[in-house]
Amino acid sequence: MAVKPSIVTRDITDLSSSTGNIYKSLNVISKRARQISSNVREELSGKLAEFASTVDNLEEIFENREQIEISKFYERMPKPTIVAIEEFSEGKVLVRDAVKEEGGIEI
């Protein structure tokens, strides 16, 4: 079984090709990673809320295997930054520049 390396070398010119600036690209990637993280967090909270109980006793905590399996599933998911970089590299992320658009504010 081949294991994917945890560290991947990225070409800066590939990342900056769509925006023309590596810092803009990293800004877009970080914002997308935050969106992904927020969505996953809300989804996980919703699923775990089904198991919430008003009374905490030791037996219920140890017997709740479904909750443990859900948590393990989300722990094995790829990190939001990895997903955001892949989406950005594949052109799935829309990049808008407010300065170039009509009515944009230049800082």
Most confident of 23-27, 91-95, 97-101: 23-27
- Integer Cα distance of 12 and 21 in angstroms: 10
The closest of 74, 75, 80, 71 to 29, measured between CA atoms, is: 80
- Integer Cα distance of 54 and 1 in angstroms: 44
> Taking 90 as the threshold, does the pLDDT of residue 83 lie above it?
yes
Tell me the HSE value of 54 on the side-chain side, using a 13 A CA sphere: 0
- Integer Cα distance of 17 and 72 in angstroms: 37
The confidence band for 68, taking pLDDT boundaries of 50, 70 and 90, is confident
- Average of pLDDT values for 34-59? 82
> Taking 70 as the threshold, does the pLDDT of residue 54 lie above it?
no
> Taking 60 as the threshold, does the pLDDT of residue 104 lie above it?
no
